[in-house]
Amino acid sequence: MADSLYATRMNTIPKSFIREILKVTEDPQIISFAGGLPNPRFFPTQEIAQAAAAVLTGADGAPLQYSTTEGYGPLREYIAQRYRDKRGVDLSPDEVLITNGSQQALDLICKVFVGKGDAIAIERPAYLGAIQSFSVYEPQLYPVPLLDDGVDLGQLKAVLDRHRLKFFHTVINFQNPSGISYSQDKRAQLAELLSSYDTLVLEDDPYAELRFEGTAAPSMRTWLDGRVILLGSFSKIVAPGLRLGWVCAKREIMSKLIVAKQASDLHSNSLCQRMLHHYLINNDVDRHIATISTAYGNQRKTMIDAIEAHCPAEVKFTRPQGGMFLWMTLPPHLAAIELFERAVGKRVAFVPGTPFFVDGGGDHNMRLNFSNADADRITEGIRRLGDIMKQMLARPQ
């Protein structure tokens, strides 16, 4: 078979660097800050088992039959209701489509909006899953730098003025990889800027409810309404193995997302949608999420304490108020990729910064996940990293 049989897009999709790293870290002896896994200790395994029994006992076949592309009605209602109750966003269930995690929502949005060469703005550094998903559609990606309080609006305006952007993709709370959140002012200014352009915002927000400090700022929907597409996920607040997330969009866009979803895989798992809904309405989900958030807050504190105790003072890092990641910036003469190689030798892993930058950069950055490992492993892993950093810094420059 000739290579020319493949579509050209296969040359543009970056091979997942994290996937390659995860292979290195399959050894359970390795202390891994590399992945983006929730702590499985908090999975509601028994409650999900009860939900499975309840949904299947005496069932008429519906949980195992083909079902609607949009998703299970009561689950869509639950999501809309939760946006109203928790986020002050007024959504109709008709504006909610159930997807296989929010990763699939990115793919469906690209199917609907992105042709070859179309312009998309992303954050710099950007979420790797988004880079990978978008690249399939062969767009021009324009990374816009993140500041401490959100995207650099001057630079975003420059991109908007030069290119017809299909959308701006933002992980608006506890960004992956940087851990930063958009301030309320920044959101208002972003809305003000975007209101002059015919483009959309993808508000990708899987971590919103995992807040352990500070106060939530409103969704971009508050200002831009139907020009915002919301993406969310049950992966971080219930369990990722169910592969259930959602995308919310105004009806006109939704009708096209539904066609794209149908062409992609007809609909998401009927049984697990019903099980998840049963779990959500029969358990204290808020308390469950509070438990996870508190634990992740403690794990983040452990990590920061360990960094301050063991890493050189030249090392800078973000202090996320929620989510699963913090972002470290090494001194200029300390390369993250060399640190990574040495760290794997000492059985510690993280993600070096370069894959988060589609235009080069990130050589001195690294992403550290604090949600997956328990406290003593976090402390030990950071201690090892700190030792290697000190050795590298002690070399003649």
What part of residues 50-79 is at the interface with a second copy (CB under 8 A)? 52-53, 56-57, 59-67, 69
Tokens linked to 2: 């000739």
Nearer to a second copy by C-beta: 217 or 248? Answer: 248
Q: Give the shortest CB-372-to-a second copy separation in angstroms.
A: 10
| Cα four-point dihedral sign 190, 174, 35, 284 | negative
Q: At 379, is the secondary structure helix, strand, or coil? A: helix
CB 104 to a second copy: min, Å: 4
Tell whether residue 200 is a contact of a second copy (CB under 8 A): yes
The whole-angstrom separation of Cα 184 and Cα 42 is: 31
Residues 361-380 that bind a second copy (CB under 8 A): none
101-160 residues in contact with a second copy (CB under 8 A) are 101, 103-104, 107, 110-116, 118, 129, 132-133, 135-137
User: Binding residue for a second copy (CB under 8 A) from 192, 213, 265, 374?
Assistant: 265
Instruction: Indicate which single residue of 235, 293, 302, 354 sits in contact with a second copy (rule: CB under 8 A).
Output: 235
The verdict on 8 binding a second copy (CB under 8 A) reads yes
Among positions 19, 86, 251, 333, the unique one binding a second copy when judged by CB under 8 A: 19
Smallest gap from Cβ 115 to a second copy, in A, equals 4
- How far, in Å, CA of 174 to CA of 367, rounded? 13
Residue 10 binding a second copy, by CB under 8 A: yes
Pick between residue 53 and residue 281 the one whose CB is nearest to a second copy: 53
Smallest distance, Å, CB 66 to a second copy? 5
214 binds a second copy (CB under 8 A): no
Q: Which residue, 201 or 311, is less far from a second copy as judged by CB?
A: 201
Q: Which of 240, 322, 381, 386 binds a second copy (CB under 8 A)?
A: 240
What strand order describes the sheet that includes 228-233? 96-99, 245-248, 228-233, 200-204, 165-171, 119-124, 140-147, 150-151
Residues between 245 and 264 with contacts to a second copy, criterion CB under 8 A? 252, 256, 259-260, 262-264
365-369: strand order across its sheet: 316-317, 325-329, 365-369, 351-352
**Alpha-carbon gap, residue 85 to 102, rounded angstroms:** 21
Q: Which of these ranges, 15-23, 205-213, 278-286, 334-342, lies near a second copy under the rule CB under 8 A?
A: 15-23
Residue 170: closest CA among 162, 181, 159:
181
DSSP character for 6? Answer: S
From start to end of 130-205, where are the E strands? 140-147, 150-151, 165-171, 200-204
Q: Segment near a second copy (CB under 8 A), from 8-16, 74-82, 187-195, 210-218? A: 8-16
- The least CB distance from residue 130 to a second copy, in Å, is 10
Residue type, 86: K
Q: Quick check: 25 and 360 in contact, CB under 8 A?
A: no
Q: Give bridge partners of residue 143 from the DSSP assignment.
A: 122
How many residues touch a second copy (CB under 8 A)?
Answer: 84
Q: Phi, psi (5° rounding) for residue 31?
A: -85, 110
Q: Which of 43, 73, 74, 94 binds a second copy (CB under 8 A)?
A: 43
